[in-house]
Chains A and B, each alone.
Chain A
Amino acid sequence: MTTIDTHSEPVTDTPPGLMRRIIRQRQAKIGLVLTGIVVLVAIVGPLLLPWLTGYTSTEFAGRPFQPGGMFGTDNLGRDILSRFLDGGLTLLVYAALATALGMLLGTVAGMLAAYQGGTLDSIIMRGNDVLLALPQLVFALLAITVLGPQGWVVVLVIGITHAPRIARVTRAAASAVITEDFIRASEMYAVPRWKILLKDVLPNITGPLMVELGLRMTYSIAAIASLSFLGLGMQPPTADWGLMINENRIALTLQPWGVILPVLAIAILTVGSNLITDAVARASATVEESK
């Protein structure tokens, strides 16, 4: 249908300096620092409980929405800082799993469609069109209605909805690579198809795929946090940033920290990963130009 494809030009040889090119950009550095901070909080946070705050994330610390402790208590009287420190890891893990699943499905489907062509190509791409006709969130909500709001459902459905978008980019990038002579040479030596795709095609489309990886990771974080915010992702009494926002937003005037902390964390995380993605896109584009 109508996706603007900005990276249809492939990187035809593995650029040795892609990583260095990314790091050299100021944007990437800022992005790395921002995501680094949030990831660190999410990973180290749970280890600090209850030592740092005196409470675990589900323990009651007092009456609801009181100013006690460093950031006060939440809607059920639990310590907000404890819940905040404990609430990021699941989001990150789920987002990473969903992204990995989407990348795996999308890359395989896209490469097969490009390499095989013909009927398989049409089937895969038309299947994509059907999946793309439902907005990601609506698709996720449909699945959650049927299967219930559980972690694996969220990971599975976000991964699956990423796949057609990734497949499209992969197909565009791969179809430019497979006409190259070295692919034809491999074919003449009767190298198995999976080996050609894995050893010859895949290394040559890493640029667009890395951009896609960053983009999908940002979207996964947003989508999973949104579902939790709607009350349809992580379920209480789990400590989770999206869920925290949902639980505490009724008392935004009384005790804003329960909302502000997780909102800030999610904002810094997504902005950081978007900055990195942008730098990756720029780096892989300059590699293309310089070749």
Chain B
Amino acid sequence: MLGLILRRLSISAVILLLVSMLVFVATLLLPGDPAQAMLGQQATPDRLEALREQMNLNDPFAERYLHWLGGLFVGDFGVSAASGGSVAELLGDRIAASLVLMALAAAISIPVGILVGTYSAMRRGKAGDHAATGISLVLAALPDFVIGIALVTLFSTTVFTVLPSVTMAPPGEQVWDYPSQLILPVLTLVLVVMPYIIRMMRTTMIEVLDSGYVEMARLKGVPERQVIWRHALPHAIAPVAQVVAIQLAWLAGGIVVVEFLFRYPGVGQALVDAVTNRDVQVVQALAMLIAAVYVVVNLLADIVGIVTNPKLRTGGTR
């Protein structure tokens, strides 16, 4: 089992390395000179040359790549071409703000999704099940910004005006000091993520409830509640863990649109700004950051899968 996990770990490391190459190649394709972009058209040739030297633009590409990659490990993400400031400084607070958003969305959608999916499976074919399946089918189809706009229209502008539609924290204060501003962004993410969890939970739960050992447990007179909680649920969780992981990984990218919509000061908003300004250093750093979250979450899901799979638990099989 340990060998399997180590193997999976090294695969993830290789994938991240290849992603970093892909992301770095993006700079090579960029038309124009980054130094020129930072200094503007009026820059003297001397200053351009000095800045190129300072940004290591005169080095061979391989060397620049290694320099950039080394920088990532020590938290040096380079210098923003748009603001001239350090990328790491620019992103510090924003990473925390985004993590809050993601964590809240995950903390709500996972348990609620599992509960609704289980409920739906237990009441298969009845009205409650139809409602849950229908709603999750519709929600799963809607793009995230459509859900977000619908919520804004409902709760903050047109129908009711009870919740703020944009995030506005004065500089120096943190977003979580204003919980009411978090409700709509978090709710949007929850509604985007949850349908997949509900659908997967329902499917696996139905499969498990039809299985021999659940029938056996019922036949020998185990109370229904115990059948669900002790016999069925644990078996249904493992495949759902994978879907949960995919959804969490999706959150890493999905926050981009939601943060932009609610003007939430996180990494997603920063990414959109950086793309609009064609600020390559920042885009690269954020792409790597999001890819890292994505890969790590998938890795964790696989490890959970390995650990919870009884066939691999004994160690003798490897």
Contact = CB atoms under 8 A, between A and B. Distances in A.
* A and B from one complex: yes
Interface of A: 1-4, 129-130, 133-139, 141-147, 218, 221-223, 225-226, 229-232, 245, 249, 252-253, 256, 259-260, 263, 266-267, 270-271, 273-275, 278
B18 A130 contact: yes
B150 interface: yes
Interface residues of B, number: 61
Contacts of A137: 253-254, 256-257
Contact of B145 (A143, A226, A253, A256): A226
B274 interface: yes
19 contacts: A3-B246, A4-B239, A129-B11, A133-B16, A134-B287, A135-B294, A137-B257, A141-B272, A142-B23, A142-B284, A142-B287, A146-B280, A147-B29, A225-B145, A226-B145, A226-B257, A229-B145, A252-B158, A260-B153
A144 B150 CA distance: 28
Interface stretch (B47-55, B136-144, B213-221): B136-144
Contacts of A135: 249-250, 252-254, 290-291, 294
A271 B195 CA distance: 13
A274 to B, nearest CB: 3
Interface of B: 11, 15-16, 18-19, 22-23, 26, 29-30, 137-138, 140-146, 149-150, 152-153, 157-158, 165, 200, 239, 242-243, 245-246, 249-250, 252-254, 256-257, 260-261, 271-272, 274-276, 278-280, 283-284, 286-287, 290-291, 294-295, 298, 301-302, 305
B286 to A, nearest CB: 8
Contacts of A143: 26
A226 B143 contact: yes
Nearest to B30: A146
Contacts of A230: 256-257, 260, 272, 275
Given A2-B242, A2-B245, A273-B141, 10 more contacts: A4-B243, A135-B253, A138-B271, A138-B286, A145-B274, A252-B153, A252-B165, A259-B149, A263-B146, A275-B137
B141 A270 contact: yes
Contacts of B149: 245, 249, 259, 263
A263 B298 CA distance: 32
Q: Is the interface of A mostly helix, strand, loop or mixed?
A: helix
Contacts of B249: 135
Given A3-B246, A133-B16, A229 B283 contact: no
Contacts of B150: 263, 267
Contacts of B138: 271, 274
A1 B275 contact: no
A281 to B, nearest CB: 11
Given A133-B16, A135-B253, A142 B143 contact: no
A136 B246 CA distance: 13
A1 B143 contact: no
Contact of A138 (B200, B260, B291): B291
Contact of A129 (B15, B239, B283, B284): B15
